[in-house]
Structure 1
Amino acid sequence: MASIKKRGNNWQVRVSYKDETGKFRTKSQAGFKTKREAQLFANEYEIKADNGELKSKRPPLFADYFWEWYETYKESSIRNRTVGTYVYAHKVLKQFLPNARIDEMDRRAYQKFIKDFGKHRAKSTVAKLNSLYHASVKDAVYDGVIQKDFIEKSVLVYDKDKTWDIEYLSEKETKQLVDYLMKTRNPHYTSKYMIITALFTGMRPGEIGGLTWENINKNFNTISVNQSWSESAKDFEDLKNDASQRTIRTDKWLLDLISELPHEDKQYRVFANQFKTIPTSNAVNKVLRAAMKELGINRKGFHFHSCRHTHVAYLLSHGVDLYAISKRLGHSDITVTSRVYSYLIDEYKQKTDDKIITALSDLKPENFSNDFAQTLHKAR
């Protein structure tokens, strides 16, 4: 029995059949240009299965399975900038587990791999690759390639010295930076405008690069986020997830500032510079570092994306609800916001606790006396 589905611009086939032992197996193949091509492949495969031409194969190497899984389930749906992460994850498996078959892997073997790989790497790197491997293994269990999920309950191992807390600017430093960027801005060079936009909206760098004039609504003082900009493909691409599609309220002055930029780009891109290109993250970082150096602000790990973190820190310091911040950032779930910004949340917890105690104190009876409590204590 075959299942044919369209994924992106291509078609994918999944054929279910019984091998010579009578056990059900599946074969997935993606990348067909037309539905007819996919159907022909399915028909041919089913005929081979009926004729007993398909021999059961030993499960592949973990690295090979991971790459086949990527090509089948992920390649047609991920953004260009994400491809490199999967390529790197595959390279790591080939380096650390070159001869490990997926059916031979167990929790002990995987934990040893994580220990060896993570001891010289940052937590974010280990966590990201672990999540990709886990997703592929879950599908391997679902497809009957292996019997158990050997990654479940694994413990991440990483180098704490390479794992930094989120870098952000203080309120004073943010004001200094904004003032400097405003005084030195030039509409023909859009990097400084992009930095200011990031500080005041919390948008991702790619989302800022993907803005068009149609996304700017000066009647309601909003910015609509519905696409991103790919530096590698030099073209628009889909957002990170469905939750990323959102409308952000902002100050009128920010939209007036953005409106200083030329409106001559053929693609209506807001931040296209005089060379008709969107500045890369490296280019924006160069401008940002120069500005911070001029102001004497020393933040070794601060970069363009850190403006998003600064936006969150500022909102938290002013008591803005975490749910509202999560929606503004375009996170799929408030738990994502809590996890990513746990360091900042803990930092501002003391301020929040003080506000809670102050608020609850208003409920205290006006004529409260602890005389009764003292009398009771003496009686004991």
Structure 2
Amino acid sequence: MASIVKRGKSYHVRVSWRDKNGVLKQKSKGGFKTKNEARQYAVELEQQLFTGVNIKQKKIPFSEYFANWYKVYKQPTSKYSTQQRYEVAIRQINEYFQDIAIQDITRHDYQVFLNQYGTNRSKNTVRIMHSMIKACVSSAMYDEIIRKNFTENIQLVFDPARTRKIDYLSLDELKRLTDLCLNGRQKRYTSRYMILTAIMTGMRIGEIMALTWDDIDYQRQTITVNKTWDYQSGGGFKATKNDSSNRTVNVTQQLLDWLAELKENNSEMVFENVRGQIPTSAAANNTLRALLKQSEIKKPSFHFHSLRHTHVAYLLSKGIDIFVISKRLGHSDLSTTTDTYAYLIHEYQQTQISEIKKNLALLAE
């Protein structure tokens, strides 16, 4: 609420409001020659405080702000696949919002955008788009371009038909694949060893390809993940997906013994074969598909990353806590794990419910 008083030959304005915590705040300014000037300032200040828009501030098209924010803050440290996602986001924002200023977008406007965008897209695609835009809008608030975050408290809209369930192997299928991998392994060819490592650790293919012998601690029975292999751009080390991906994974002595066989290839890289090459993603997937066919496992969409999902399914089936699994996978927070494996978790929760009932019934016996 604004108050205007005359002091001497000029007018003085004071605007009072309460912040989100209910604390009284005040801002004042004097020296206005006329009451009309003072009133105009009060209107502008209240509009900025209560609507989040500074009418004196230059309007910035959201598409322009997003593209510049990406170029400055995200592009320099993003891997190629992430850059591609941002390029898609830039095109979508340009197409939908056009020249609309970021200061003029409301939560309603943004929800309508998500409703339209998610009509024919999967939940994960919509989630990624929303996370990129939300990060950008948070930056705009920090820069005091806007005062309200229009991406808060919205609903993700998506096409359930395009939201594919993750593919994983049953316990029987996993045992058949593991046995076949072990029985046919040869030190000269390392793809099978990579598959075994994925089964036993849940590591991503780039993390596995980048392993050096220094990363393996035989005494503590651990594998340290501190880099990944840039297989999409011709090879070479690069940083992991994010800080949480840097982790130490506890492993079995069995896996360590299998990997020790590869030391005869005389390379600092664990999975470099006798030709001095690390199997490509395509090569590892070809080996995996051949093993699945030989094991009579009919899963056409199953690929190397599905081994990571299988690792999670196996741990859940053994009652391992989801928080422990999340840390093992290198997820940035628990919600990433629960969102990705929501239906898988639900499946095992139903099994646990039966166990709970059975154990509670024992109390009355």
Same fold at TM > 0.5 = yes
* 3-state SS, counterpart of residue 93 of structure 2: helix
Structure 2 segments unaligned to the other structure (5+ residues): 1-40, 45-55
| 1:268-311 deviation digits (Å, cap 9, x = unpaired) | 22122344343333332222222222322122332111111101
Corresponding residue for residue 108 of structure 1: 108
- The 1:90–1:277 alpha-carbon spacing in structure 2 relative to 1, beyond 3 Å, is farther
Corresponding residue for residue 229 of structure 1: 229
- The 1:58–1:200 alpha-carbon spacing in structure 2 relative to 1, beyond 3 Å, is same
Corresponding residue for residue 91 of structure 1: 91
| Identity fraction in percent | 42
| Contact kept? 1:96, 1:117, Cα under 8 Å | no
Structure 1 stretch 274-283 or stretch 61-70: which is displaced more?
A: 274-283
Corresponding residue for residue 334 of structure 2: 334
Corresponding residue for residue 253 of structure 2: 252
Structure 1 segments unaligned to the other structure (5+ residues): 1-21, 24-55, 367-380
* 3-state SS, counterpart of residue 223 of structure 2: strand
Distance 1:58 1:300 in 2: 54
1:231 Cα deviation from its structure 2 partner: 1.7
> What amino acid is aligned across from residue 97 of structure 1 in structure 2?
F
> What amino acid is aligned across from residue 311 of structure 2 in structure 1?
H
Distance 1:102 1:190 in 2: 52
Corresponding residue for residue 135 of structure 1: 135
1:326 Cα deviation from its structure 2 partner: 1.9
Q: Which residues of 2 match residues 1-380 of structure 1 at below 5 A? A: 58-233=58-233, 234-262=235-263, 268-364=268-364
Kindly report structure 1 stretches of 4+ aligned residues shifted beyond 4 Å: 262-266
Higher helix share: 2
| Contact kept? 2:63, 2:98, Cα under 8 Å | yes
For the aligned residue pairs, the C-alpha RMSD in angstroms reads 2.6
Question: What is the total number of aligned residue pairs between the two structures?
Answer: 313
Structure 1 stretch 119-128 or stretch 254-263: which is displaced more?
A: 254-263
> What amino acid is aligned across from residue 244 of structure 2 in structure 1?
A
> What amino acid is aligned across from residue 297 of structure 1 in structure 2?
I
| Contact kept? 1:217, 1:223, Cα under 8 Å | yes
Q: TM-score, normalised by structure 2?
A: 0.78
Distance 1:189 1:177 in 2: 17
Distance 2:300 2:152 in 1: 36
| Contact kept? 2:265, 2:273, Cα under 8 Å | no
1:263 Cα deviation from its structure 2 partner: 5.5
Q: TM-score, normalised by structure 1?
A: 0.75
| 1:309-346 deviation digits (Å, cap 9, x = unpaired) | 10111111111222222222222333332222111111
